[in-house]
């Protein structure tokens, strides 16, 4: 039996790691804090892609009410 990927879990892990990396960069590079802002933006973009786009493209989205 083939099991669909859990894109929500993948998205949560990706966002968490992105935000942790952005936090580390924020404190390590105080003169270049704009880099951490870009990393946060990419983490949010990842969340949107993994949470909304990929499930619809792969057909792994569950119908409402199930």
Burial class (CB in 10 A: 0-12, 13-18, 19+), 9: exposed
Q: What whole-number distance in Å separates Cα of residue 31 and Cα of residue 6? A: 38
Give the chain's largest Cα–Cα span: 52
Q: What is the pTM of this model?
A: 0.75
The full set of domain ranges for the chain reads 25-59
Kindly indicate the confidence band of residue 6, based on its pLDDT and cuts at 50, 70 and 90.
Answer: confident
Burial class (CB in 10 A: 0-12, 13-18, 19+), 50: buried
Give per-residue pLDDT as tens, 25-63: 999 998 889 999 999 999 999 888 888 888 888 776 665
């Amino acid at each position: 039996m083939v099991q669909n990927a859990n894109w929500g879990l993948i998205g949560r892990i990706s966002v968490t790691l992105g935000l942790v990396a952005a936090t580390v960069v924020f404190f390590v590079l105080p003169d270049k804090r704009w880099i951490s802002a870009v990393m946060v933006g990419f983490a949010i973009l990842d969340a949107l892609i993994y949470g909304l786009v990929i499930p619809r493209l792969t057909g792994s989205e569950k119908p409402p009410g199930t």
